[in-house]
Amino acid sequence: MRIKNVGYQIFRPFLKIFVILFMCPKTIHKERIPKKGGIILAGNHLTKLDPIIVGNTTPRSLHFLSKKELLDIPTYGCYNLHGSLLPKYRGASPIQQSLINGDKVTGMSLMEMTKGMDEGDVFDIEAIEIEENDNNSSLFIKMADAAKTLILRDADKLVSGQLTRTKQDENLVTYCHMIKPEQEHIDFNLTATQILGWIKALSDVPGAYLYIEEIKYKIFKASIFSFDVTHEVGQIVKADKNGLVIQCREGQLSILEIQKEGKKRMDYKSFL
């Protein structure tokens, strides 16, 4: 059976991937379900959708799609494209978590949807190298490419039963939660390496931030300046044309791109 239609789009400004593979009559139309969730394909003939594949839409929409009465509709099942190499990072923020933890490799998993969160069998994965300059935005783009690769490689095999399913090893399961607004505030009691991971995970949107003299500054890019501890935690070590460096609990962080509240984003040399 051949694929009749594939929907594939990256939504800005948050670069959320949303993929739907479906086999259904042309009478199916787009509508928003739920209103505050990601866009899904549905219509008057929802019961004729065969199969459905979704990828990295909002948690609210995935909750809607994971209801048993919907999972049981398609003849060939419901499948998800999850932004990690399962069973690592089940949950709401797998892409950000890989950056926070300084992983070198991540990937996209094609999995069966079940009532349990990201617990379904895995059919295929596409590994992705995390490069030194990657952040949340660039990694989302890589994930979109990986999702497209999986769809084109596996869709026909999936519906014809040619793909082998692999159960997730419950002993290797890790979880990641939705990032809360208060976690966007940089905590200099972390190490320089940990803070760098958070900055990457929050760039370009929403952006990690700090306060200097009660003024909010967003930090979009940084690097490890040294692993020395020569000043109090959170103190500016130096601020000149050679660098804007802040002391962390372990190590010092060099700020490369910064944005003062109400101003434009700029490199540290323009800022100083």
Q: Residue 165 and residue 160: Cα distance in Å, rounded?
A: 13
Q: Is the dihedral of CA 127, 131, 136, 138 positive or negative?
A: negative
What DSSP line would sit under 18-51, residue for residue? EEEEEE--TT-EEE-SSTTS--EEE-TTGGG-EE
- Coil, strand or helix: which one is 115? coil
Look at residue 56 and tell me whether its pLDDT is greater than 80. no
Q: Please, are residues 22 and 65 in contact by the beta-carbon 8 Å criterion?
A: no
Q: How far is CA 180 from the centre of its chain?
A: 14
90 pLDDT band, cuts 50/70/90, is very high
Cα angle 40, 45, 46; round to 5: 45
Structure tokens at 224: 């490890």
Amino acid at 133: N
173-227, pLDDT tens digit by residue?
999 999 999 999 999 999 999 999 999 999 999 999 999 899 999 999 999 999 9
Residue with tokens 């003062």: 260
Which pLDDT band holds residue 242 (cuts at 50, 70, 90)?
Answer: confident
The token pair at 68 is 């048993």
User: Do 166 and 126 form a contact (C-beta atoms < 8 A)?
Assistant: no
pLDDT at 23 over 80: no
Residue positions counted in the chain: 272
Q: Residue 112 CB: number of other CB atoms within 10 A?
A: 17
- Kindly report the backbone phi and psi dihedral angles of residue 199, in degrees, each rounded to the nearest multiple of 5, phi listed first: -60, -45
In terms of pLDDT, which residue wins out, 34 or 155? 155
Q: Which residue has the higher pLDDT, 2 or 271?
A: 271
Single pTM value for the model: 0.80
Task: Yes or no: say if 223 and 254 are a contact pair by the CB < 8 Å rule.
Answer: yes
∠ CA 146-204-143, nearest 5°, is 5
Strands 40-42 and 29-31: antiparallel
Per the listing, tokens 């190298």 go with 129
**So what's the pLDDT on residue 54?**
53
Q: Which two tokens stand for residue 272?
A: 């100083």
CA 8 to chain centre: 17
- Please tell me the predicted confidence (pLDDT) of residue 114: 87
Query: Using CB atoms within 10 A of its CB, is residue 52 exposed (0-12), middle (13-18) or buried (19+)?
Result: buried
| Interatomic CA distance for residues 171 and 30, integer angstroms | 40
